[in-house]
Chains A and B, each alone.
Chain A
Amino acid sequence: MRALRLTLLRHSRHLSKFSSLGGVRLASENVVSQSATSSPPETAGDNLIYTQEHLALKESLRKIIDQEINPHVDQWEAEGKFPAHKIFKILGNAGFLGVNKPVKYGGLGLDFSYSVAVAEELGNIRCGGVPMAIGVQSDMATPALARFGSDELKEEFLLPSIMGDKVACLGVSEVGAGSDVSSIRTKAVRKGDEYVINGGKMWTTNGTQADWMCLLANTSDGPPHRNKSLICLPMNLPGVQIARKIDKLGMWSSDTAEVFFDDVRVPCKNVIGQEGMGFTYQMLQFQEERLWGVANILTAMDNIIQETIQYTGQRKVFRQPVLYHQSVHFRLAELQTEVELLRSLLYRATALYIKGNDVTKLASMAKLKGGRLTREVADSCLQYWGGMGFTSDVMVSRFYRDSRLLSIGGGADEVMLGIICKYMDTLPKK
């Protein structure tokens, strides 16, 4: 870590006398400088939802990203995995995994705007896989536990997850059920004071490294929205099988697993909150998950647009920079405009949410727009990078692959549209 800090200081124009120190120049940085400064930094007083502390938090997290994460991203992408326990411990020590979680269990008890600030800053990581994995740990597998779990459960699962000692994963989607959560088939049958679990889960981020899973399973026969429970499932129990690590189009540094359960026995006390309320709890978790995803992708879009400006500013075509062609700089202006619009929607939803409002409609709109806008940004920017954009040497191709997931995961575009229509009362009557 010290060597990395020396490398960063070496890039400073004032420390040329240390140029003999070796430095790792990542392939993706050969074309543009390490931190493309996007929009000018604002002072705390001007921001809609951020205070001095939010900005200080972002600065500190940025340092961790620059020193502990970004230097290794290329390697992790190539290996198809990142060291979750190591990275989560670093983040946990610095307090970034439990931002809005209860103080009693090592969290900071701050409101969701701080989680949004963390999500935004994580967008500076040079891939989509690692932020997604962190998001699962901090804001997708734990909200229901924090809100509804028993003290004993929180002590065993929430506390170590916030500290970064235990890696969490979320078990909701299955091979046969993604968007249609209510049709999941995994069953937890009560036998004495244990549940016996059979079934399987799919698309489990952190799945190959997780110590526990927040599992949604059918715990009774009954209406599909009322017969499910969330269960804290230790991943080392007999019968839990990591069937395979899934080979994906993008998000390579995030290990995604398919998991099977073969007569897995777990104590009944591991149910979060009330039995039968699992579906409801999971739906509540989704609001935060969706706003988190939007916050994260906004920074990534800003960065890609800036990198594209830098590249096209020096790449020449027909004797002038690509950027000088009106179709290029006008298009980038259009894209940046839409990014700012989405940012405003995010801040508005966040401000309402921290005041206790239900922001399902706005969060769904933001997620819908986020997924679609990032595809446009990735596609347009990739085009302007030309042949270079098609190589694995540059960030834009990774961004194109990674960001495609946003329209699918965490609630597909079609699901978002259904939710919005419900609020607009335009769905066909039964």
Chain B
Amino acid sequence: MSGRVLVGVKRVIDYAVKIRVRPDKTGVVTDGVKHSMNPFCEIAVEEAVKLKEKKLIKEVVAVSCGPQQAQETIRTALAMGADRGIHVEVTGKDYDTLGPLQVSKILAALAKKEDAQLVILGKQAIDDDCNQTGQMTAALLDWPQGTFASEVSMEGDKVKVVREIDGGLETVKINIPAVVTADLRLNTPRYATLPNIMKAKKKKIANVKPADLGVDLTSRLEVLRVDEPPQRQAGMKVETVDDLVGKLKETGHI
């Protein structure tokens, strides 16, 4: 076993920013807006680094797809303890239409190339909320998947994953190599300490193009329009249940 873990990290608009829709309604404003690593990706990196500290795996490789700025996100992962990074360069129109399908193709290709025994991703990104990349990557690789992980433990040539599902918690045991996606309660990501931030400067980030991996970035989706959510209307108070039913009938809701 290579003992290598691939962690995908996505650069997204920071969770605290007030999102604004672009005037041309083709997307949201990203210029000059604060970006950071997707919170679930942080949790994924933390889990990988923890596994390395427990000596269960040997190397953590952080991957990000995007333009030049994606390297900042990789550097954050390096500062948290990842050993090296891979920046898959995707720019311009390709980046605008980049989605889970394309990213999972890239990750699958890299997982094979790097002989990874685990791919750990965040369960979803906070900008598109797709919750697809992990699942698609596993399918493309024909690997088992443990998604929405709130606990991960290595048991020989298998991984035990406790999954958060609607009904509670489900425990599965899957063969390595596998794909795991991190959920909120998996761990609490560490602060990148200043010594590690300085050390991260010396760690390597390799540059790769999707074409080198034989990946076609053509999107099957076309964004027609992006709108703000409708303005919240004022509510109305009623005295009795009968009044309520009456109002609902009146406004055509029932």
Contacts and interface: CB of A to CB of B under 8 A. Distances in A.
Please indicate whether A and B come from the same complex rather than being unrelated chains: yes
Given A40-B33, A108-B194, A60 B15 contact: no
A72 interface: no
Interface residues of A, number: 35
Nearest to A103: B195
A64 B197 CA distance: 15
A37 B17 contact: yes
Contacts of B34: 37, 40-41
Contacts of B154: none
Interface string A215-244: 000000000000000000000000000000
Given A8-B15, A37-B34, A40-B33, A63 B191 contact: yes
Interface string B74-92: 0110010000000000000
B76 A40 contact: no
B126 interface: yes
B192 interface: yes
B70 to A, nearest CB: 13
Interface stretch (A88-96, A266-274, A296-304, A312-320): A88-96
A333 interface: no
Nearest to B15: A12
B18 interface: yes
Measured as residues with beta carbon below 8 angstroms from the partner, the interface class of chain B is: 20 to 34
Given A59-B36, A59-B76, A108-B194, A18 B184 contact: yes
Contacts of B35: 41
A355 interface: no
A41 B32 contact: yes
B75 A94 contact: no
Nearest to B37: A59
Given A14-B126, A34-B16, A37-B34, A60 B69 contact: no
A11 B191 CA distance: 20
A43 interface: yes
Given A40-B33, A53-B201, A95 B126 contact: no
Contacts of B192: 56, 59-60
Interface string B27-70: 00000111110010000000000000000000000000000010
A95 B193 contact: yes
Contacts of B200: 56
Contacts of A43: 69
Contacts of A13: 19
A93 B196 CA distance: 11
Given A34-B16, A52-B75, A56-B79, A14 B195 contact: no
Nearest to B201: A53
Closest 9 CB pairs of A and B: A95-B194, A40-B32, A12-B15, A60-B192, A94-B193, A35-B16, A95-B193, A56-B197, A14-B126
